[in-house]
């Protein structure tokens, strides 16, 4: 059934039901953080306990779910929530259950404690992305308790393995269980809808509408093996380091994207400066810690990350290799590949290890309007803007099925919090009041989308 009285406008929940949902989201996040669902990469990870936790929390309120194990202990959770209008394509609401490792010695608290301290919930996954998981769970649990039916079908998924390429998560499900996604056209997930306070005190909410593409490359140099005491003009290590030095120090040209143009134009308008499409970098000074990521979204990047050569101090090896993490802007895929090969020259051969597409969608249409309206309803001074993310999400996999994805797991942040430093960082934490703000925004949005 649906609710229409004046106390429920926007959320379709009574004030008492809203209060229960707000308490629920805090408890859910603490519970998820306390499960160390660490993904070490190379197939080594374990989301089973976290998946079972989510399934149990859904079952508590009568929502059935399916646990899909794609490899030992690599478990995904899928729940279908029936909507009012069966003629409309549904929406996918998805998070990931895995987190990156945390060295407890570096932290000021136990990284898997879920401790509430200084107004924050602390722990690995607090921002990436068990906060989103908790918010998604809290909303559908509130619906179930209230007997509310959403406007259209909702496919709620908690994926495994997002932190290591999604091989056992979204990629596996898209390839092996595509029927799950039939008649779903849009999706929301992580790293979007968070607030950033810029120069002048303007509070922007970054909604992710684009992602850079990924191209990981292996460079291999070959030469003449020999004794370390001899002169060797064909030293593979020397060749490799020449190539890597050129790539690592290359100054990539700044490029304009549709999303970047809208983002930087809005910044310029608010701070009273001019937007130069050929050089938006001066505007980065106005967005605080967000400049760390946004600075990487005006150009392609190629960062050397791994080196391997030799086996003994006095032996010149016959080959040496390196790995480069390349990220390309939407529309500039070929520029990255061609430039790296040119920079490597004759010193090294370039081999593509992993390549994944860039994404870019319009900041327009009913879904986007609904996302913006929900933010503004909770924060009338908030200004939603589209942004291009330097990394990637499970929306890349869903796009293979034609599903249009956005980053939208809202949270209001303190002005002085360096949010981006917390992703995979030490002392990861999220403000309790910001989490409550986020679940209220999501309840409003999903109840009316």
Structural domains in the chain, CATH included, are: 6-191+393-446 (3.40.630.10), 213-356 (3.30.70.360)
Q: Is it the case that residue 1 has pLDDT exceeding 60? A: no
Report the DSSP pairing between strands 184-189 and 90-96.
Answer: parallel
Give 11-55 pLDDT, tens digit per residue: 789 999 999 999 999 999 999 999 999 999 989 999 999 999 999
Q: What is the pLDDT of residue 354?
A: 87
Mean pLDDT for all residues in the chain: 95
Q: Which helix (H) or strand (E) holds 409?
A: none
Task: For residues 70 and 24, give the distance between their C-alpha atoms in angstroms, rounded to a whole number.
Answer: 30
Q: What is the pLDDT of residue 10?
A: 66
Mean pLDDT to the nearest integer, 146-175: 96
Q: CA end-to-end span of the chain, whole Å?
A: 17
Global pTM value:
0.92
Mean pLDDT to the nearest integer, 356-378: 96
Residues facing residue 323 across a β-bridge: 218, 306
Q: Is it the case that residue 163 has pLDDT exceeding 80? A: yes
| CB neighbourhood size of 319 (10 A) | 17
Pick from 9-18, 185-194, 411-420 the range whose average pLDDT is largest. 185-194
Q: What is the pLDDT of residue 3?
A: 36
Contact 33, 430 (CB under 8 A): no
Give 226-285 pLDDT, tens digit per residue: 999 998 999 999 999 999 999 999 999 999 999 999 999 999 999 999 999 999 999 999
Task: For residues 114 and 204, give the distance between their C-alpha atoms in angstroms, rounded to a whole number.
Answer: 28
Please say whether the dihedral angle defined by the alpha carbons of residues 342, 344, 346 and 350, taken in this order, is positive or negative: negative
Task: For residues 303 and 135, give the distance between their C-alpha atoms in angstroms, rounded to a whole number.
Answer: 34
Pure H helices in 280-406: 291-294, 333-344, 366-378, 395-399
């Amino acid at each position: 059934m649906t609710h229409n009285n004046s106390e429920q406008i926007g959320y379709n929940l009574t004030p008492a039901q809203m209060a229960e949902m707000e308490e629920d989201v805090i408890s859910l996040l603490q519970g998820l953080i306390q499960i160390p669902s660490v993904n070490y990469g190379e197939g080594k990870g374990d989301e089973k306990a976290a998946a079972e936790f989510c399934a149990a929390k859904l079952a508590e309120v009568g929502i059935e779910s399916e646990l899909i194990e794609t490899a030992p202990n690599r478990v995904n959770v899928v729940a279908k929530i029936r909507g009012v209008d069966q003629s409309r394509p549904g929406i996918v609401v998805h998070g990931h259950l895995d987190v990156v490792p945390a060295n407890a010695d570096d932290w000021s608290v136990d990284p898997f404690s879920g401790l509430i301290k200084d107004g924050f919930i602390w722990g690995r996954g607090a921002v990436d992305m068990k906060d989103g998981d908790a918010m998604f769970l809290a909303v559908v649990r509130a619906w179930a308790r209230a007997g509310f039916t959403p406007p259209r079908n909702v496919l709620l998924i908690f994926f495994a393995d997002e932190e290591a390429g999604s091989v056992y998560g979204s990629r596996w499900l898209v390839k092996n269980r595509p029927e799950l996604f039939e008649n779903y056209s849009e999706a929301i997930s992580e790293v979007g809808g968070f607030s950033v306070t810029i120069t002048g005190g303007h509070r922007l909410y970054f909604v992710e509408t684009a992602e850079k593409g990924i191209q990981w490359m292996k460079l291999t140099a070959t030469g003449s093996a020999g004794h370390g005491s001899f002169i060797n003009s064909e030293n593979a290590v020397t060749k490799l380091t020449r190539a890597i030095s050129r790539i690592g120090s290359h100054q990539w040209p700044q490029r304009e994207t549709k999303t970047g143009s809208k983002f930087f134009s809005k910044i310029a308008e608010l701070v009273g400066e001019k937007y130069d499409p050929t050089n938006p970098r001066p505007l980065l000074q106005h967005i605080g810690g967000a400049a760390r990521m946004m600075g990487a979204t005006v150009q392609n990047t190629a960062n050397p990350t791994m080196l391997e050569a030799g086996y003994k101090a006095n032996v010149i090896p016959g080959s040496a290799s390196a790995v480069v993490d390349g990220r390309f802007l939407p529309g500039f895929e070929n520029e990255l590949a061609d430039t790296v090969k040119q920079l490597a020259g004759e010193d090294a051969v370039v081999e593509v290890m992993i390549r994944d597409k860039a994404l870019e969608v319009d900041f327009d249409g009913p879904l986007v309007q609904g996302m913006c309206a929900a933010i503004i309803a909770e924060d009338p001074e908030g200004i939603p803007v589209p942004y291009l993310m330097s990394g990637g999400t499970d929306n890349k996999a869903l796009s293979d099925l034609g599903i249009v994805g956005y980053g939208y797991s809202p949270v209001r942040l303190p002005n002085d919090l360096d949010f981006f430093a917390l992703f995979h960082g030490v002392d990861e934490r999220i403000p309790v009041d910001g989490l409550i703000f986020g679940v209220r925004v999501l309840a409003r949005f999903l109840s009316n989308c």
